[in-house]
């Protein structure tokens, strides 16, 4: 429950300091692996809130990514029932590429008295901390590495960052957005891998190669640039 203090976490901040988790990702689409990870980290580290930050449309496309608006709305649908979860448009509305360090700088400036925790899975931690402005990122937030099936956290050892990253063990869910997209395209089941409203949204809007069932009126009313 929001505001309730669990017993497991070692809190280094004085009481009363809000603790905010930040869950970044492409979320194309959001799945139960993301939600279980966020909830487990929230409970283990005694966080007050988790804000999901869907990435904007990538500038260098390695594949066709679903429009930011669709990905954002699916994250809203998936997180709505959890009172401790919220969704930020900050990366979606940004012009130009956004990097983790930009997001953390903005959050730090807007929330100077909040303790920030940046949550990543075992695969993403390495790419973030071995890329851009790692030192500044680590100074702006506590980095949390969640276990993820198929990705070995011991690789962090060789980077010298292992002591500076908080590990959280998450129930192993071998779910990825890549696999979910492939399942949709092949007509294979996705039920119990993604929240039901997200499954319905995908079907309604014909994402991931599913046949569209909506009339397309809303996108025409919005000038057609709501969705790619």
Distance CA 221, CA 219 (A): 5
Among 46, 48, 102, 123, binds ligand ATP (CB under 6 A): 123
Give residue number: closest CB to ligand ATP.
Answer: 121
Stretch that binds ligand ATP, among 41-49, 159-167, 171-179, 206-214 (CB under 6 A): 171-179
In degrees to the nearest 10, what's the CA dihedral of 127, 169, 55, 27? 120
Q: Which of 170, 193, 198, 202 binds ligand ATP (CB under 6 A)?
A: 170
CB of 182 to ligand ATP, least distance (A): 10
Report how far apart the first and last C-alpha atoms of the chain are (Å, whole number). 38
Question: Which span sits near ligand ATP by CB under 6 A: 133-141, 172-180, 195-203, 218-226?
Answer: 172-180
149 CA to centre of own chain: 17
Region of 193 please: left (phi>0), alpha (psi -120 to 50) or beta.
Answer: alpha
**Nearest-approach distance from CB 139 to ligand ATP, in angstroms:** 20
**Half-sphere exposure in the Cβ direction for 2 (13 Å, CA):** 10
- Residue 45: partners with Cβ closer than 8 Å, 6 or more residues away: 9, 19, 21, 117, 144, 166, 168
Q: Does 27 bind ligand ATP (CB under 6 A)?
A: yes
Q: Rank residues 151 and 164 by Cβ distance to ligand ATP and give the closer one.
A: 151
How far apart (Å, rounded) are the C-alpha atoms in residues 172 and 151? 11
Cβ proximity to ligand ATP: between 26 and 166 the closer is: 26
Residue 120 interacts with ligand ATP (CB under 6 A): yes or no:
yes
Question: In the complex, which residues of this chain contact ligand ATP (CB under 6 A)?
Answer: 25-28, 33-34, 37, 120-121, 123-124, 146, 148, 170, 173, 175-178
């Amino acid at each position: 429950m929001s505001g309730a203090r669990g017993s497991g976490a070692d809190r280094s901040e004085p009481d009363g300091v809000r603790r905010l988790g930040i869950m970044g990702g492409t979320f194309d689409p959001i799945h139960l692996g993301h939600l279980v990870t966020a909830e487990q980290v929230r409970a283990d580290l005694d966080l007050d809130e988790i804000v999901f930050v869907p990435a904007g449309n990538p500038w260098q496309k390695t594949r066709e990514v679903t429009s930011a608006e669709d990905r954002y709305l699916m994250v809203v649908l998936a997180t709505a029932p959890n009172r401790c979860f919220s969704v930020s448009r900050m990366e979606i509305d940004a012009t130009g590429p956004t990097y983790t360090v930009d997001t953390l700088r903005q959050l730090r400036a807007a929330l100077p008295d909040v303790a920030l925790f940046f949550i990543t899975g075992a695969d993403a931690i390495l790419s973030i901390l071995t890329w851009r402005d790692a030192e500044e990122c680590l100074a702006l937030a506590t980095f949390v590495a969640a276990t993820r099936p198929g990705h070995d956290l011991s690789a962090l050892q060789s980077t010298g960052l292992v002591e500076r990253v908080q590990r959280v063990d998450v129930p192993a869910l071998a779910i990825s957005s890549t696999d979910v997209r492939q399942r949709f395209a092949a007509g294979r089941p996705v039920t119990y891998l993604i929240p039901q409203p997200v499954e319905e949204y995908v079907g309604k809007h014909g994402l991931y190669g599913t046949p569209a069932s909506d009339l397309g009126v809303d996108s025409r009313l919005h000038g057609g640039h709501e969705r790619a």
